[in-house]
Amino acid sequence: MRRHLITSIIFLFIYLDAVSQSAQKSSSDISYSHDTTIINQQIKKAFGYAQNPATLDSATHYLNQFYSLSRKRNYDKGLIEYFRIKAVTYFIQQKDDSLSQFIEKAFSQAKLLHNEKELALVIDLKAWIYQAKEESDSAAHYYIKALKIADSLNDTKLSAEISNNLSILFLGIGDYNKAAAYALSVYHRGLKLNDTLLVTNGLFNLGTAKVNLKQYDTGMILYRRVNELVKDPAKYNYVLFRSLGNEASILTDLGKVDESIKKYKEILQLSANIDPTLLSYIYSGLAAAQLKKNLFNDAGNNAEKAISIGESAGQKQGLRDSYLLMSQIKEAQSDFKSALLYRKKYDTLNDTLTSETTNKNIHLLEKKYVTSKKDNQIATQQLAIAENKNIIQKKNTLNIILAVGSLLLLLFGLLIYRNFKNRHQLLKKEKELQKQKITELEKQQQLVAMQSVLKGQEEERSRLARDLHDGVGGLLSGVKLSMSNMKGNVFLSEENTQAFSNVILQLDQSIAELRRVSHNMMPEALIKYGLKEALENYCENLNLSGKLKVQLQTYGMETRMDQNTEIIVYRIVQELLNNIIKHAEAKNVLIQLVHEGERFNLTVEDDGKGFDINETKNGAGLANIKARAEYLDGNVDIVSKKGEGTSVNVEGKAGENT
Q: 392: helix, coil or strand?
A: helix
Domain boundary pick from 399, 414, 444: 444
Taking the CA atoms of 136, 139, 143 and 144 in sequence, report the sign of the dihedral they define.
positive
Q: Is the pLDDT of residue 511 over 80?
A: no
Supply φ then ψ for residue 332, to 5 degrees.
-65, -25
Q: Is the pLDDT of residue 492 over 70?
A: no
User: Average pLDDT in the 60-76 region?
Assistant: 88
DSSP 374-386: HHHHHHHHHHHHH
CATH number of the domain that 622 lies in? 3.30.565.10
pLDDT at position 12 = 34
Nearest to 167 by CA among 131, 192, 216: 131
The upper half-sphere exposure of residue 81, i.e. CA atoms within 13 Å in the direction of its Cβ, equals 36
Residues 436 and 460 in one domain: no
User: Average pLDDT in the 48-69 region?
Assistant: 86
- Residue 358 near residue 350 (C-beta atoms within 8 A): yes
Q: Is the pLDDT of residue 357 over 50?
A: no
Residues 258 and 331 in one domain: yes
Residues 435 and 464 in one domain: no
More confident position, 467 or 580: 580
Residues 140 and 161 in one domain: yes
Is residue 125 domain-resident? no
Encoded amino acid at 218, one letter: T
Supply φ then ψ for residue 600, to 5 degrees.
-135, 160
pLDDT band at 323 (very low <50, low <70, confident <90, very high): confident
Q: Is the pLDDT of residue 6 over 50?
A: no
Q: Which residues pair with 602 in a beta bridge?
A: 593, 650
pLDDT at position 1 = 42
Residues 159 and 190 in one domain: yes
Domain boundary pick from 114, 139, 165: 114
Is residue 299 domain-resident? yes
What is the Cα–Cα distance from 227 to 236, expressed in whole angstroms?
Answer: 10
Residues 516 and 549 in one domain: no
What is the Cα–Cα distance from 470 to 453, expressed in whole angstroms?
Answer: 26
More confident position, 336 or 500: 336
Q: Which stretches of 254-295 are DSSP H helices?
A: 257-268, 276-292
What is the Cα–Cα distance from 284 to 84, expressed in whole angstroms?
Answer: 36
Is residue 120 domain-resident? no
pLDDT band at 363 (very low <50, low <70, confident <90, very high): very low
pLDDT in tens, 259-281: 888 877 877 776 665 666 677 77
59's CB contacts (< 8 A; 6+ apart) are 46, 47, 49, 50, 85, 89
Residues 509 and 577 in one domain: no
Is residue 426 domain-resident? yes
Residues 81 and 150 in one domain: no
Is residue 303 domain-resident? yes
pLDDT in tens, 569-588: 988 998 899 889 888 889 99
CB count in 10 Å sphere of residue 265: 12
Residues 238 and 224 in one domain: no
Is residue 152 domain-resident? yes
Is residue 644 domain-resident? yes
Residues 95 and 81 in one domain: yes
> Backbone dihedral region of 592: left (phi > 0), alpha (psi from -120 to 50 degrees) or beta?
beta
Residues 555 and 439 in one domain: no
pLDDT at position 7 = 37
pLDDT at position 21 = 35
More confident position, 442 or 217: 217
pLDDT in tens, 142-199: 999 999 999 999 999 999 989 998 988 888 788 889 889 999 999 999 899 998 888 8
pLDDT band at 443 (very low <50, low <70, confident <90, very high): low
pLDDT at position 211 = 82
Q: Between β-strands 599-606 and 549-555, what pairing exists: parallel, antiparallel or unpaired? A: unpaired
Domain boundary pick from 310, 329, 360: 360
pLDDT band at 365 (very low <50, low <70, confident <90, very high): very low
Residues 541 and 649 in one domain: yes
Query: What percentage of residues in the chain have a pLDDT greater than 70?
Result: 73
More confident position, 404 or 606: 606
CB count in 10 Å sphere of residue 227: 17
Give the least confident one: 58-62, 131-135, 580-584.
Answer: 131-135
Domains in the chain: how many in total? 6
More confident position, 521 or 253: 253
pLDDT in tens, 382-392: 555 555 666 66
pLDDT at position 290 = 86
Q: Is the pLDDT of residue 327 over 70?
A: yes
Q: In what order do the strands lie in the sheet with 588-596?
A: 549-555, 588-596, 599-606, 646-653, 635-640
pLDDT at position 552 = 93
- Residue 264 near residue 247 (C-beta atoms within 8 A): no
DSSP 564-633: HHHHHHHHHHHHHHHHIIIII--SEEEEEEEEETTEEEEEEEE-S----TTTS---HHHHHHHHHHHHTT
More confident position, 618 or 544: 544
50-76: b or e for each residue (b if 16 or more CB lie within 10 Å)?
bbeeeebeebbebbeebbebbeebebb
Is residue 7 domain-resident? no
CB count in 10 Å sphere of residue 476: 16
Q: Which domain holds residue 480?
A: 454-520
> Backbone dihedral region of 539: left (phi > 0), alpha (psi from -120 to 50 degrees) or beta?
alpha
More confident position, 351 or 363: 351
Q: Is the pLDDT of residue 375 over 60?
A: no
Q: Is the pLDDT of residue 603 over 90?
A: yes
Q: Is the pLDDT of residue 369 over 60?
A: no
Could you give the angle at which helices 276-292 and 296-313 cross, rounded to 10 degrees?
Answer: 160
pLDDT at position 355 = 47
